[in-house]
Amino acid sequence: KMKLAVLTGGGDCPGLNGAVKWVTKSAMDSWLSSKRSINFEVIGVTEGWRGLVDVNPEDPKSLEKYIRPLDEETVRTWDRYGGTNLGTSRTNPFNPKNDRSEILLDNIKKLGVDVVVAIGGEDTLGAAYRLHKLGVKTVGIPKTIDNDLMGTDYSLGFDTAVNVIMEEIDRLRTTAGSHSRIFVVETMGRHAGWLALHGGECSGAYIILIPEYPFNLDEVAHLLQERKGREIRYAIIVVAEGAKVAGRDEFIQSGKMDEFGHVALGGIAKYVAEEIEARTSFETRHLTLSHLQRGGTPSAHDRLMARWYGIAAVDMIINEDFGRMASLQRGEITSAPLKECIGKLKLVDIEKNYDKDRYNGRRSIIG
Ligand code: F6P
C-alpha cells in the first residue's frame, strides 16, 4: 500500500478542494491507469505544512486534528466549494528563522507517508522542493490567484478571481455613471500584475496600473482630463496592490512610498484616488476588492483545471516523476521540475505578452 498525503498551503483560493478531490479519486481509481495499478491510501493533512510539523503521530487527539482519511465518498462534493476544506497556513518548515524540517521528516516517517502532494504557490512548492531534495517523494499542484508561478501558464484560483473583479466592476459602473465619478479599484497582486491586467481588460477599465510598469500620476490625471473632454462621464481605473509610482526617490523622501516603491499609507487605491482628485478636481472614489477575490465558488475553468491537475499529480506518482509540478503549457497538461517553478516569479512583460500588431496598440496600461 502507498500512503499519499495531500495538503494545501499558502493563501486559500477556489479550486483547492477540487484538486484534493481529484487527487483522491484518481488515487482510488489508479487501476484505470494503463501503466500500473497502485494500492493507495489517501490522507488529507490539515493546515498545510503546519499540520505535518505540529502533528504528534503518537497522540490520537492530535492525529484527529491534523490527519483526515480521504476516500471517494468524503470528497464527492468538494469540487463545488471555494476555500480549502483541509485548511491552510503560511507555515514554511524550512524557514531559516525557525527551521522545523527535522520534525517534518520525522513525522512523515512516523505517519508512514510514502508520497506528499503539495498544492500551493511559490512558498509552499519551495518547501516541497526542499523536501524532495531530502529524499521524500513529492509532487506539486500550482495555485495562486496572482497567476505568477513559473513553469505553468495557469495556477488555480486565477480565473475565479478575474471573474470576481469583472462582476464587481460591472456593479460599480452603474453608480459611477450615475454620479459621473472616477472609480479606482484595487486588486490583489503584490508583485505581478496579471490579476489587475486581465480583470481590468475584461471589464473595460480605462487605465490599468501594475507593479511591472511604474506609473506617473500626472499622466493618469492627463488621460482622465482628456476623457472628460470627450464627454465621457466616468472612468474605471484598476490598480494592483503592488503597483509602483514612478519617480521613486522623491516619493520615498516624502514618506509616501516604502523602499520597495510601494505606496504606503492606507493602500494604493486610496492614494491614487486622492491624488487624482487633487490634480483634476473630478469626484473620485476608491474600492479595495481584497479577499473577495479569493472567496466564493470556483469558476468552471478552475473546476476543470483542478480536475486535470489532480489527475496529472497522481499520474506523475504512478510514473515516478517526483520533484515536479503539474502544469499547463500552451494548452497541454504536462509537468515541470519544481526547481524551475520557484525562486522567481512570472511577471507581465507587455512587449512579450502582447503582440503589438494584433493588439492594435490599444493598451490601457500606462507606465
Ligand atoms: O499570494 C496570494 C495573495 O492573495 C496576494 O495577492 C496577496 O497579496 C496576499 O495573498 C494576501 O495574503 P493574506 O491572505 O495573508 O492577507
The two beta strands, 137-142 and 235-240, are: unpaired
Q: Which atom of ligand 1 is nearest to the CA of 293?
A: 4
Share of the chain above pLDDT 70, in %: 90
Mean pLDDT, residues 48-64 taken together: 98
**Does residue 93's CB lie within 6 angstroms of at least one atom of ligand 1?**
no
Please identify which residue in the block is written with the cell numbers 484505470. Answer: 32
Mean pLDDT, residues 302-320 taken together: 97
Give per-residue burial for 96-129: e unless 16+ CB within 10 Å, then b.
Answer: eeeebbeebbebbeebebbbbbbbbbbbbbbbbb
> Looking at the predicted structure, is the pLDDT value of residue 359 above 60?
no
Question: What's the pLDDT tens digit per position in 187-240?
Answer: 999 999 999 999 999 999 999 999 998 888 998 999 999 988 888 889 999 999
- 145 CA to middle of ligand 1, Å? 9
Q: Count Cβ atoms below 10 Å from residue 64 Cβ, excluding itself.
A: 10
Phi-psi domain of 129 (left: phi exceeds 0; alpha: psi -120 through 50; beta: other): alpha
Gyration radius of the chain over CA positions = 23
For ligand 1, atom 7, name the residue with the nearest CA. Answer: 188
The x, y and z cell numbers of residue 219, run together, are: 499622466
In whole angstroms, what is the distance from residue 315 CA to residue 32 CA? 11
In whole angstroms, what is the distance from residue 203 CA to residue 192 CA? 19
pLDDT for the residue 227 = 86
**Does residue 189's CB lie within 6 angstroms of at least one atom of ligand 1?**
yes
Mean pLDDT, residues 67-77 taken together: 98
This prediction has a pTM of 0.93
> Looking at the predicted structure, is the pLDDT value of residue 264 above 80?
no
> Looking at the predicted structure, is the pLDDT value of residue 42 above 90?
yes
- 11 CA to middle of ligand 1, Å? 6
Q: Which atom of ligand 1 is nearest to the CA of 13?
A: 4
- With beta carbons less than 8 A apart as the criterion, state whether 297 and 167 touch: no
- With beta carbons less than 8 A apart as the criterion, state whether 88 and 9 touch: yes
- 294 CA to middle of ligand 1, Å? 9
- 188 CA to middle of ligand 1, Å? 7
Please identify which residue in the block is written with the cell numbers 493598451. Answer: 363
> Looking at the predicted structure, is the pLDDT value of residue 361 above 60?
no
For ligand 1, atom 8, name the residue with the nearest CA. Answer: 190
Q: What is the DSSP letter of 291?
A: G
For ligand 1, atom 10, name the residue with the nearest CA. Answer: 11
Phi-psi domain of 40 (left: phi exceeds 0; alpha: psi -120 through 50; beta: other): beta
Spatial CA neighbour of 71 closest among 96, 44, 101, 50: 44
- 54 CA to middle of ligand 1, Å? 23
In whole angstroms, what is the distance from residue 55 CA to residue 136 CA? 18
Q: Which atom of ligand 1 is nearest to the CA of 146?
A: 6
| Among 162, 186, 187, 188, residue to substitute to test ligand 1 (most atoms within 8 Å of Cβ) | 188
Please identify which residue in the block is written with the cell numbers 503582440. Answer: 355
Q: What is the chain's mean pLDDT, rounded? A: 92
- Which residues are 286's β-sheet partners? 184
Q: What is the DSSP letter of 297?
A: P
Q: Which helix (H) or strand (E) holds 324?
A: strand 324-329
For ligand 1, atom 13, name the residue with the nearest CA. Answer: 11
- With beta carbons less than 8 A apart as the criterion, state whether 271 and 261 touch: no
Residues taking part in catalysis: 146
The full DSSP string for 203-265 is TT-SEEE-TTS-B-HHHHHHHHHHHHHTT---EEEEEETT-BBSSHHHHHHHTSB-TTSBB-S
List of residues 6+ apart from 262 with CB closer than 8 A: 242, 244, 268
The two beta strands, 207-209 and 2-8, are: unpaired
pLDDT for the residue 163 = 98
pLDDT for the residue 252 = 58
- 190 CA to middle of ligand 1, Å? 8
**Does residue 145's CB lie within 6 angstroms of at least one atom of ligand 1?**
yes
Q: Which atom of ligand 1 is nearest to the CA of 241?
A: 8
Phi, psi of 285 (to 5 degrees): -120, 160
